[in-house]
Amino acid sequence: MKKETTSVRNSLLLLLTATIWGVAFVAQSVSMDYIGGFTFNAIRNLMGSATLLPVIWVLGRTKSTGAKAEASPAERKTLLTGGICCGILLCLASNFQQFGIKYTTVGKAGFITACYIIIVPILGIFLKKKCSSFIWIAVILSLCGLYLLCLTPGEGFAIGRGELLVLICAVLFSLHILVIDHFSPLVDGVKMSCIQFLVCGILSGIPALLFESPDLSGILAAKIPLLYAGVLSCGVAYTLQIVGQKNMNPTVASLILSLESCISVIAGWLILGQSLSGREILGCVLMFGAIILAQLPQKKAACNTCIS
């Protein structure tokens, strides 16, 4: 019963993550009117890292009264390794996505990015992370939902520069999910999240200074989108992802996180008054159905094969 309660809690944390990311598309789009992509990713990630410092301090003081307050050198090394690996992958994925959107439609970008729901289980096969038939059916169902949601009839699907960049982004996000799956049970999730943002912010800042011209006026003009993307999308959502993925099947996690695309459409409808077509509503229904299917209780033997 305790394991089922933990699974439900983790699923809700990942759903909240997807919700924050879905709404963040608005902030990401608005900020590009004032600052460059590298500058945006550098500032938002450094803000995310700074946001977590007081959280780590409070948690550290709370744990200091416990039996084990000091981490061993091996644990610190694992934490640093996990944070650096996640930070590098996050930096590459977010920047490939940022610049890929410039050369393709938002619908295509959203569909290709969310294709990590099929890339994760495929990569998981090589890592001996098998999934039950129910989860594979949910993956296919979700992929169909994303197609209906993100691509319009007659738009075509030619692979150009933008599509290629976003496809690379999807592969990198898949690797990011699998790396989190490996490290999250071993380290403090909040600390690893803080390190990954710091690494991502520094690495994004280097090309920002070399190829872009960040200025204070542009940054101040984009302050509200940056605050949302830095504090909520980075500081809160990515930390929730790390905590929520702990001891959870990465394929199921990727399915829940893929609701980001669905929620972004719903947010556009509720916040910006953008209408939803019948095709898009059907896509949302299929995606929500896929998540429910993936969460249904399965035979014990099948569930035990989900995580190696």
Among 21, 75, 4, 87, which residue's Cα sits nearest to residue 241? 21
For residue 302, the model assigns a pLDDT of 36
Q: Which residues contact 167 (CB under 8 A, 6 or more apart)?
A: 112, 115, 159
**pLDDT tens string 37-77:** 899 999 999 999 999 998 888 877 776 555 455 678 888 99
Taking the whole predicted model, whether its pTM rises above 0.85 is answered as no
Compute the C-alpha angle 253/178/75, nearest 5°: 110
DSSP E strand stretches across the chain: none
Q: For 44, what's the count of Cα atoms within 13 Å in the CB-facing half-sphere?
A: 31
Termini Cα distance of the chain: 21
Q: How far apart are CA 135 and CA 147, in angstroms?
A: 18
Tokens standing for 277? 């077509």
Specify the range with the lowest mean pLDDT, choosing from 16-25, 72-81, 208-217, 285-294: 285-294
**pLDDT tens string 177-234:** 899 989 988 988 889 999 999 999 999 999 999 999 888 999 999 999 899 989 998 8
Q: How far apart are CA 286 and CA 290, in angstroms?
A: 6
Torsion of CA 198, 95, 43, 46, to 10 degrees: -10
